[in-house]
Amino acid sequence: MNDDADPTLPTGPRRWLPTGLLLAATAWLLVVFPSLSAEVALHYDLRGQATDVGARAQLLVLPAVGLLLDLLLKIVGALAAQRPELVALPVKLTADNRARVLGLTQGCCGFLRAAVAVFFGLLIVSCTEGARTGVLLVSPAVLGAWPAVVVVGLAGYVVAMRRAA
């Protein structure tokens, strides 16, 4: 391991796990894509009933958005570690709290990357299976609750940063 590496940046496999999850879900979509009908369900209500139908190519938007968000969060995490003054933090950095707050910032970016990967991974696989078999693997209610999970997680990081200040 490089002794000059920034200790606030994730290293090893955990750095690539969210991207790997998204790529695995994308690979599944691409494998089954040719077998999907030309028109597929694109939106479901909370009971799992299709409410919108469109071209199967529209399913490709899901991995594109998920991978783009993952990349943006990787950039923000790296930026926060290298130039924290460019990132809006909920506390003022001081010499005393800098390491702890930057570590929490990296943790927060990692949490968001994991949340994006799980959400979009489940969405991709569930919508693909819904289009292929007519049965969603994940309830729309579960996916609909995901933003609340993210908000609670973010609130936890903000509270931890404020306590570290």
pTM for the complete prediction? 0.84
Q: Is the pLDDT of residue 3 over 60?
A: no
Q: Is the pLDDT of residue 1 over 70?
A: no
Interval 14-25 mean pLDDT:
90
Report pLDDT digits (tens) over 20-36.
Answer: 999 999 999 999 999 99
Domain ranges, ordered by start, for the chain: 14-164
Tokens linked to 95: 């010499």
Report pLDDT digits (tens) over 105-134.
Answer: 888 998 999 999 999 999 999 999 988 888
Query: Bigger pLDDT: 37 or 8?
Result: 37
Distances from the Cα of 117 to the Cα of 8, 47, 51, 54, 137, angstroms: 21, 24, 25, 24, 16
pLDDT the model gives residue 45 = 86
Report pLDDT digits (tens) over 52-87.
Answer: 999 999 999 999 999 999 999 999 888 888 888 788
Query: Bigger pLDDT: 52 or 3?
Result: 52
pLDDT the model gives residue 4 = 45
pLDDT the model gives residue 9 = 52
Q: Among residues 31, 52, 29, which one has the least CA distance to residue 40?
A: 52
